[in-house]
Amino acid sequence: MAAGRRILLAYLVYFAAIGAVYPYLPVFFLSLGLQLEQIGLLTAIGAAVQLVLSPVWGGLADRFPRTRLSLPLAAAVAAVGATILFLASDFTAVLVGSLIMFGGIAGITPTLDARTLETLGPAKRGRFGEVRAFGSLAFVLATVAVGFLLDAQGARSLFWACVPFLIGTAIVTATIPRRGTTRSVNVLRGAGTFLGTSGVVLFLAGFTVVWAALAAISAFYSIQIIALGGSPGLVGIAWAFGAIIEVPFMYAFPRIGARLGTERLVVLGSSAFALRALLAALAVDPIAMVLIAPLEGLGFACVFVGGVTILSARAPASLQGTAQGLFSASAGLATIVGSIAGGAIAGAFSIPTLFVVCAAIGLVGTAIVALALLGPGRTDRLARAA
């Protein structure tokens, strides 16, 4: 099987696992009797692991450009953590399982993206969105199927799908060949070199603000659907409805970006997140939460694919894994802030109040991203100030 087909299969299997676990993990935590503050704390702890380990996983992939071990090892670690969560019945076991599972996931996403860019080569990096679209397709299908599984068997059954797909990810990624020939400097020095690139720090700062607002919403979106009278199956439909728009948009991203500009698409996606947050705050019916979900899919396609593309273009070949690791680490930092603050606000006030706050913060982040990407002549000065 050609390397490109193995990459596609890896995205299909891995994001089927993510589609099985990500939308329903808060519902699973709630079924164990955990409080909103505890759910927010667990999400933040998982993100802290991502913040620390994503650059390490990515840096190791750059440091050893010929080895295939990093991806299957990360997937195997994630599978072990998911198995512990499946067996968990108290907060301690949930905490341990979450730490291990997110520790593995922290290595899969950035390394798989970097491996994809490596396989495509410099001339075809702009087609990353076409490949990544298959991951979104798998996410949609798995989310819908697992939602109905939860309706029939309960929240714990999500791991019936998640664990096998993570094991499958380990098997598939072990077969993907490497093309790297240049060994980078050590992990810390490589990260410092990339962060010194013009405009990178400011863009990552704005992205972190935008993603923090998104993380706070995502941590409680499923719970709010249940609170408004929806079922776990409707939760799955909402997440699938949001993700379904990602598939065609990601696939067409290279052509749309060439016409409108990748930077403008990232700003558009950040704005879509803020609008979704405001509309979610006003929703009084679970169906309304489903109908506005495509805004999240539009935002994700623009911000994530655009961010990967922009950072890849600014990183040398020897630092592609480091660049994507730092991108993932920024998402981890954002998730820590968003989850902890989101849990505190939702617990002290209400989930709709949290969504209003997230809309305002998202607009601030959008402004920073716009300055970083659409403000020529000011980027270096603002980056130093940041």
Look at residue 309 in the predicted model and tell me its pLDDT. Answer: 87
Residue 171 has what pLDDT? Answer: 94
**Considering the chain, what percentage of its residues have pLDDT values greater than 70?**
92
Residue 326 lies in a domain: yes
- 171 is a domain residue: yes
* From 40-44, 49-53, 164-168, 322-326, the region with the lowest mean pLDDT: 40-44
Q: Is residue 127 part of a domain?
A: yes
Instruction: Find out whether 180 and 66 touch, Cβ atoms under 8 Å.
Output: yes
pLDDT, residue 58, reads 76
Q: 261 versus 319: which is more confidently predicted?
A: 261
In the predicted model, what is the mean pLDDT of residues 143-161? 88
pLDDT single digits (tens) 186-211 = 566 767 777 777 778 899 999 999 99
Q: Tell me, yes or no, whether 182 lies in a domain.
A: no
Q: Which amino acid is at 202?
A: L
193 falls within a domain: yes
Asked if residue 245 is part of any domain, the answer here is yes
For residue 284, which phi and psi values (nearest 5 degrees)? -120, 5
What's residue 342's pLDDT?
Answer: 85
In this structure, what CATH number is given to the domain that contains residue 369?
1.20.1250.20
What does the mean pLDDT of the chain come to?
85
40-78 pLDDT, tens per residue? 778 778 778 888 888 888 777 777 767 778 889 999 999
Q: Are 13 and 165 in contact (CB under 8 A)?
A: yes
Evaluate if residue 380 carries a pLDDT over 70.
no
Give the mean model confidence (pLDDT) for residues 291-305: 91
User: Does residue 181 surpass a pLDDT of 70?
Assistant: no
Domain span including residue 355: 3-176+188-385
- For the cut 80, the answer to whether the pLDDT of residue 83 exceeds it is yes
In a domain, 9, yes or no: yes
Task: Give CA angle at 27 (111, 45), nearest 5°.
Answer: 45
Q: Please report, for residues 116, 209, 238, the alpha-carbon distance to residue 342 in angstroms, rounded to integers and kept in the order given.
A: 34, 13, 20
Give the pLDDT band (50/70/90) at residue 184. low
Position 383 scores a pLDDT of 40
pLDDT digits (tens, 9 = 90+) for 2-21: 777 888 899 999 999 998 99
User: For the residues 174-182, what does the mean pLDDT come to?
Assistant: 71
Q: What is the pLDDT of residues 247-292, one digit of tens each?
A: 888 888 888 888 888 899 999 999 999 999 999 999 989 999 999 9
Q: Which one has a higher pLDDT value, 81 or 221?
A: 81
121 φψ region: left (φ > 0), alpha (ψ -120 to 50), beta (else): left
**Looking at this protein, which amino acid is placed at residue 145?**
A
- Are 92 and 38 in contact by the 8 Å Cβ rule? The answer is no
- Give the position of tokens 């396989």: 119
Pair of tokens at residue 276: 């979704």
Question: So what's the pLDDT on residue 379?
Answer: 42
Query: Nearest Cα to 235, choosing from 12, 20, 4, 15?
Result: 20
Range of 74-88, 132-146, 194-208 with top mean pLDDT: 74-88
What's the pLDDT score for residue 386? 35
What's the total number of domains in the chain? 1
Does 181 fall in a domain?
no
